[in-house]
Amino acid sequence: MLPQDISQHGYLVDRVIKLSIWGIVVVGIVSFFIMFYILYKFRRTKNPFPLSDVPSGLKKVIFIDYVMIIFDLILLFMSTWAWFFFFVRPVEKIKKEVQEKGEKFVEVRVIGRQFFWTVEYPGRDGVFGTQDDFKLGNLLVVPEGYNVFVKLTSGDVLHSFFIPNARIKYDVIPGRETHLWFKPAKVGKYEIACAELCGAMHYRMKGYLVVLKEQDYKMWLDSAPFSEISFDYLDDDKIKFVKGGEVR
């Protein structure tokens, strides 16, 4: 069910999802069975007169409460861990760590507008505000294995920057600057969705996340923005605009 996880740390979120889903499935099934048992055993035709007290065996059902409490605690622990990893640590701190570890990273700015993402690249020198900055619409190209730091701002209304494959989502708020970071670990072409109602064409607010091999990324960067990207390992069929089911 879950889309393929391409980011280094997506497994943190996946772990919480799997834990919670399986937990509630088990608890749900157990309680359903108990209920069906009760309903079957104490039906009118078989048990015409009510007992004066609940059979003591059934009173033990209260253990479900304790199960729930324990399950909640585990869930809280795991989920807080994932949350902490992604959002609680300030981006500057993460950046410093990354630099100390000597890992490579790229920075991009993403501006949400009705109904597309403008992605600002710092260009070859990797610094914003210089001559070789450039902007691309709906196209976020990042190198494989780099840490990607995304600054999110909005041009008009609320949006939400959602990369299902990277298990990443954060709202894009006018008048504020929000941050994201992730580490793509698999080359390919993925989709960026908007997860906050932003107007009539909300369902069309689709961007592309393209993860390239490092040298390919460099090659692309040299000629950007004047070059389209088409590498064999991207299933680079051109984007069709689909409406009403048929492909135009």
Tell which positions 145-174 bind other proteins, by CB under 8 A. Answer: 155-158, 160, 162, 164-165, 167-171, 173-174
Count of positions (residues) in the chain: 248
User: Which segment (97-105, 142-150, 211-219, 227-235) binds other proteins by CB under 8 A?
Assistant: 227-235
CB 137 within 8 A of CB 118: yes
> From CA 43, how far away is CA 39, in angstroms rounded?
6
Exactly one of 70, 99, 218, 242 binds other proteins (CB under 8 A); that residue is 242
Beta strands 207-212 and 134-137, pairing class? unpaired
Would you count residue 34 as binding other proteins (CB under 8 A)? yes
Among residue numbers 41 through 80, which ones bind other proteins (CB under 8 A)?
Answer: 42-44, 47-55, 58-59, 61-62, 64-65, 68-69, 71-72, 75-76, 78-80
Per-residue contact track with other proteins, 120 to 149, x per CB under 8 A?
A: -----x-x-xxxxxxxxxxx----------
CB 141 within 8 A of CB 220: yes
- For residue 64, CA distances in Å to 27, 40, 49 come to 8, 20, 28
Exactly one of 193, 213, 219, 231 binds other proteins (CB under 8 A); that residue is 193
Question: Among residues 131 and 215, whose Cβ is nearest to other proteins?
Answer: 131
User: Which segment (26-34, 92-100, 101-109, 143-151) binds other proteins by CB under 8 A?
Assistant: 26-34
Find residue 243's DSSP bridge partners: 246
Question: Among residues 16 and 211, whose Cβ is nearest to other proteins?
Answer: 16
Q: How would you classify residue 167: left for phi > 0, otherwise alpha for psi between -120 and 50, otherwise beta?
A: left
CA 140 to chain centre: 16
